[in-house]
A and B are shown apart, each in its own frame.
Chain A
Amino acid sequence: MKNSNDTEKIDMKDEFFAACQELELGQLVGVKKFKLIEAMSSVELMDPKMDTGVKKPVKNLGLANAVKNGLFDGNPTDILATIDATFALMVSWLEGGSLAQTLFTNVMMRELEEVHHEIYTPFCHALTHIVQIVTYVITNSYTYEEEDFQAHCPFPVCSQVPRDEVVRHLREVTATLAQSVSHKPPNSPESRKVLAIGARMEMCCLLIEVITWLVPPQTPAVLKVLSNFKPDEPEEKSEKEEVRITAAGENEVGLTEEEAQPPFTRSESNKQQCQSMARRLETVAQAIAESSKMGRSAPNNGEDGNFSWLSAIEPDLNKRFLPSTFPRKVDIPDRKTALDYLVGLTRRLKIIATNSLDTTQDLISLFFFARSFNFDKSCVLTRSVLQLALFPLDEHISGHPDKSIAEPIEVTLREMFPPAVLDKNSPAHHDPLCQQLYNAFMVQISKHCLSVYQTFGTNLARQRDRIIVSIEDLGLIQRDANRVEYRTSEIIRENSHEAPHQAVHTFVLFNLLSLVSHYFELSLRMDLFVPYEFPYIYWYLSDILARWQISTLERSQEMNLLAWKSNPLSTSVNRRTSKEKQKCEENLKKRFQINQSHTVHQFGMAQIADGIVKTTIALIKMRKIKVPKWAEDSEKQRYDNRMAPMKCLGHPLYISYEQYLILSKTNELYETPIPQLIEEAIEKFDHAIQQLVRLREYPDFHDDETIYIKVARANLIGARLLLRLQNDMTNRRVDWIFGEDCPIYPILRIT
């Protein structure tokens, strides 16, 4: 770099600008190797959206100045404001902000070892540990994307105080604060503020404890195993994992006796303790949110802004660590919003602690929980915690050495589509080749399910991209399922003339249908379809997905019945086995009831979708929905793009555009008079209501059904109104509106 003495101070601005003026409009003059793409990657100076340097840096004042300004002499109101502001910065970090622009704009966090204060010291050490824990959890779950979370940190984040020591210190401070106001009236403003500070300390403590229990830190054994992991090594080694201590005190993989403890030591004995801590955490967070106004108010119209009005917060503290280009806009929530966010976060942690471990009995519950959890306004941290709580290292559930994901898969397969290979009374069960093929299938489906589970941990847009790959993978696993079916069929036909049900094949089809439905659900949730696409989208949801789901459920019922009939217990009159027989019959009855309710649900959904198709075509005919047509085959192109992920699956899940026209009779519908179309739609919505109302009779009636009934009713009314007003629609607007509680099926709105 040249020094300033090299510069001859002759301003050549005017002569250079004059020379440029002579160029032709649009003409660029560059050096020989100049490429236009270089211009695209350059910083446009003075543009605040691209140029971080556009704002003059202020001199960093640091902790010493904050202390000089009375940071450590603040009253409870100031302390509450500082703590809540720091929580707001933490929330901003959890929502994708960089650490340098958010939490570490608190001067105490940057100079942790210099903080000597009864409240701030444990608080800042606790936050440092929380940052470490959160980063560890999110980066190890492999479900975050750059838009979700910034794992990069330009400076070391570490505390010299061990985690256990910090937790102990936080507890002590909480107890001391409670004791200090024990002699004062409990509702006095001073007592309430002191207790509010104590609650914040307790929340930090519980946050560390609950997350650490759900995602235990990696023990030396895991680290050692991971560092020795070689993917190319044959799997045989894992079968010989007997730990033999050598004379040197090390086992075969070089672990000491202490290191050779189980990798994840989530103790079942303190499960209840953790669950009660998680419940307490939510209660404390709610109490904190209710006390959000106890801290000092912001000076400018009460707006918190970037908290530069607090002596502890310097928004530009780490500006020099930021990249020069494309500054990421950091949204810092106000204290009320941030504390409400923490209530949501703690609620989700409680759900994971109390419910998630009970969902591992079967595949449907496992997937349903993960999917619903993601849809429930989850954040990247809680989604990651869920991933690692259930699958901390590999396919073993909760790190349990004897329970892998294969177990819930097999439970679902056995319960829904009992295959002959799992039936001890069937010759297929005793055929070694059949068992071998079945095991090969289980290996593939287990890998697939693990990958799908991880996909449920990503944000919706990324999830949709990954689901496309999963659909393709599952399509390939169908071949493994077919191999099992061929062999089973061979064995059974040798003994009888009856052809066995294709249980494993139907199980894969059932999962494929669920994945494809989920793909469409994600697309609808993200508002990716426009109303003129509804005819083929909702036709597919109704005629293909719902119809095949009903078909697989009916097959499940048949297979269960057949399996029960072939079970000697069903015809047994032995008193000793009567209890077992009764239990089996009850289970079968329960299974049939679930299947029936799912069938009715699917039928109701199909009716709503049919109604939407007919109403949309009527609206297109009324020119209330305009269909862009830039080429003769515009619709075909759109259709092909939407159905592209299913193309690899072939029949019955992939339907070409030509087949769609034949099967759906769309062209005939476009020829049908508008009143008739609307009347048919009314009939469909009416049928949907009748079906869905029937679900109330079933014990597993879910609140979601009420929402679908509401949608069907609203559309029934909307369609009737449309029928009445069809000749008076010139100045009226008709829209399909997706409600927040039902993002899959829209509601007709006439204004």
Chain B
Amino acid sequence: MLADEDDGFQIAETLVVEEKEEESEACKKVREYLSKRYEIHLTDTRIIRGTLNCTDKDANMLFYESDERWPEGETRWLGQAMIAKKHVIAMYEIKPAQETSI
């Protein structure tokens, strides 16, 4: 595990608040938004869809399994993508089609 072996990453890892008893209310509130799929409309009219993986105080959002599409354009696979707050026009949650779907 590269991240565990590297000191730099170990220090950074401690910043990630995991499920702990002393987790703040703000953390719990933000955590409710994670692991859900969203559709993000960007300032350049692009639409990004992906699962929210991580965020911070400045609302920098990290998505995985994401793709992008221009209006009336083809969809293109992105993988992991980071979006800064300033580029976001709208944010919609994509509800799962069925409760049983993964």
Contact = CB atoms under 8 A, between A and B. Distances in A.
A147 interface: no
Interface residues of A, number: 45
A25 B57 contact: yes
Contact of A12 (B18, B45, B62, B93): B93
Nearest to A41: B80
A619 to B, nearest CB: 38
Given A28-B54, A31-B34, A13 B88 contact: yes
Contacts of A37: 2-3, 9
Nearest to A50: B82
Interface string A1-27: 110001111111100110111111111
Contacts, number: 173
Contacts of B45: 56
A45 B82 contact: yes
B52 to A, nearest CB: 8
Interface in A672-707: none
A36 B3 contact: yes
Given A20-B56, A45-B48, A29 B30 contact: yes
Interface in A47-85: 53-54, 56-57
Contacts of B2: 37
Given A37-B2, A41-B80, A54 B54 contact: no
Interface in A314-370: 320, 324-325
Contacts of B58: 20
A53 B39 CA distance: 16
A8 B55 contact: no
A16 B58 CA distance: 11
Interface string B29-58: 111011101010011111011000111111
B57 A36 contact: no
A56 B30 CA distance: 33
A173 B16 CA distance: 69
A43 interface: yes
B94 A36 contact: no
B102 interface: no
Interface in B68-93: 68, 70, 73-85, 87-93
Contacts of A32: 18-19
Contact of A43 (B59, B80, B93): B80
B54 A23 contact: no
A31 B30 CA distance: 11
B93 A29 contact: no
A38 B48 contact: no
Given A22-B26, A38-B62, A29 B31 contact: yes
Given A28-B17, A46-B84, A53-B76, A36 B12 contact: yes
B54 to A, nearest CB: 4
Nearest to A13: B91
A39 interface: yes
Interface of A: 1-2, 6-13, 16-17, 19-32, 34-39, 41-46, 53-54, 56-57, 320, 324-325
27 contacts: A1-B67, A1-B75, A2-B96, A7-B93, A8-B92, A11-B90, A11-B92, A12-B93, A13-B88, A17-B59, A19-B26, A20-B56, A22-B29, A22-B30, A26-B15, A28-B17, A29-B55, A30-B55, A35-B13, A38-B53, A39-B54, A42-B63, A43-B78, A44-B81, A45-B82, A46-B84, A46-B87
